[in-house]
Amino acid sequence: MRKFIKMSLVGLNILCVLFLFLAHCSRIISPRDNECLQFIGLAFPGIIAVICLFFIFWIIKGSKWKYLSLISMIIGLGMIIDYFGNPFSWTGDKGTYSAMTYNVRLFGFYQWDDNIQIRDSMMVQLANADADVYCFQEFYFQDRPGGFETFPHVLKATNTTFKHEKYTHEFKHDQYFGVVTLSRHPIVNRGFIAFEEDFNNYCIYSDIVFPDSDTVRVFNTHLASIHFRKDEYGLLEGKDQEMNQALGSVGEILSKLKNGFDRRSLQIERIMNVVSESPYPVILAGDFNDTPISYTYGIVREGLDDAYVDCRFGMGNTYNGPVPYLRIDHIFHDNQIEVETYDSPKVPWSDHFPVICSFEINKDK
């Protein structure tokens, strides 16, 4: 019986190591070729946790099987660092410049009872950030007197002068929704990357001239969302009443996830093609709707560094929703941008937390 239990544990340990390998494959194989790998990538924290438990267990037992978990973690160290950050990362003094990305969720417009309070609280957060560049997603703007004002408040809070805006939707009563980049320094060129398969999302880029004539191309993107219904979120949160309503929709949830993986893979490939042609140092920021163990993240990391990995260690979630460990808002940069600090304040005003990093520009690299 003891031998059977041991061999069962060994088999489970081997299975977890296999899943770790498949999680690595999720970063290099497009979901258009194999979408199952992306679902395994979502389970990465659990996979690593179980492998670590096995490692401790085999050490206690004095078994040579400890080397299976140890070797797999060493081989997967790059993934582990991308997900959890670098335990040996160093955070210096605040850099000369700073950038912020924030999915503002329409500044709370549809939360009718509290939208003014939410908007004004977010303005305080923006002012406290004191950034040089702000990249907003789900920016809501109403261009008529007496409406839900956002732009005047945002410009005042951010103390910015230059803007680049691209709205994916224009509603009646002069209402707009999209991505906006604001800068305290001149924007000398503006461009955008359209996603032909998805008119709901965009990527814009702005060439910003910082003091001392250092030009940086800042990309601001919002990749494809999943668009879960309330009952489907109930299933993810484990609420009994809403679970009963949603259990019949598990197939639809998986289909939405797969569709999101596919759309984002096309979008990020298009973005990185443009990034690779930039004549200036690059910052790529926004709501990517994908974790570090995904094809989207893996494609970006082939050419850019992650500000989180530069400075932090831990779970670092940026999604303020029912799944607590998701880091899906990112600031990436090339090697001419040296990130000094990273922060993601856990403020409740949106379903995303803002991400702020400070940096220096070193064009000699």
How do residues 11-38 score in pLDDT, each as one tens digit?
999 999 999 999 999 999 999 999 899 9
Mean pLDDT of 213-240: 69
Answer for the pair 315, 83: CB distance below 8 angstroms, yes or no: no
Residues 6+ apart with CB under 8 A from 210: 97, 132, 185, 216, 361
User: Which tokens go with 218?
Assistant: 């800042």
pLDDT score for 241 = 47
pLDDT of residue 235 exceeding 60, the answer is no
Burial of 313 (0-12, 13-18, 19+ CB in 10 A): middle
Mean pLDDT of 115-139: 97
The 10 Å CB-count burial string (b at 16+, else e) for 181-208 is bbbbbebeeeebbebeebeebbbbbbbb
pLDDT score for 227 = 61
Which of the pair, 232 or 179, is modelled with greater confidence?
Answer: 179
pLDDT of residue 231 exceeding 80, the answer is no
Question: What DSSP assignment string belongs to 209-268?
Answer: EEGGGEEEEEEEEE-------HHHHHHHHT-HHHHHHHGGGHHHHHHHHHHHHHHHHHHH
pLDDT score for 237 = 44
Q: What percent of the chain has pLDDT over 70?
A: 92
Which of the pair, 167 or 298, is modelled with greater confidence?
Answer: 298
Q: Where are the beta strands (DSSP E) in 107-213?
A: 133-142, 162-171, 175-183, 187-194, 202-210
pLDDT digits (tens, 9 = 90+) for 138-161: 999 887 777 899 999 999 999 999
Q: Residue written as tokens 């209402």?
A: 175
Mean pLDDT of 203-218: 95
The upper half-sphere exposure of residue 65, i.e. CA atoms within 13 Å in the direction of its Cβ, equals: 21
Q: What is the number of other CB atoms lying within 10 angstroms of the CB of residue 215?
A: 17
pTM of this structure: 0.92
pLDDT score for 130 = 97
pLDDT digits (tens, 9 = 90+) for 278-317: 999 999 999 999 999 999 999 999 999 999 999 999 989 9
pLDDT score for 255 = 85
Mean pLDDT of 74-87: 95
pLDDT score for 253 = 78
Please state, in angstroms and rounded to a whole number, the distance separating the CA atoms of residues 116 and 12.
53
Element (H, E) at 75: helix 66-75
Mean pLDDT of 334-355: 96
Mean pLDDT of 201-214: 93
pLDDT of residue 102 exceeding 80, the answer is yes
What radius of gyration do the chain's Cα atoms show? 22
pLDDT digits (tens, 9 = 90+) for 246-274: 555 677 778 888 999 999 999 999 999 99
CA nearest to 72, candidates 20, 26, 10? 20
pLDDT digits (tens, 9 = 90+) for 168-198: 766 666 788 899 999 999 999 999 998 877 7
pLDDT score for 172 = 66
pLDDT of residue 210 exceeding 90, the answer is yes
Q: Would you kindly state where each structural domain of the chain is located, as residue ranges?
A: 2-75, 97-361
Element (H, E) at 168: strand 162-171
Q: What pLDDT band is residue 233 in, cutting at 50, 70 and 90? A: very low
Could you tell me how many residues make up the chain?
A: 365
Q: What pLDDT band is residue 359 in, cutting at 50, 70 and 90? A: very high
Choosing among 3.90.180.10, 3.40.1360.10, 3.60.10.10, 3.30.530.20, the CATH entry for 97-361 is 3.60.10.10
Q: For 115, list phi and psi in degrees, rounded to 5.
A: -65, -35
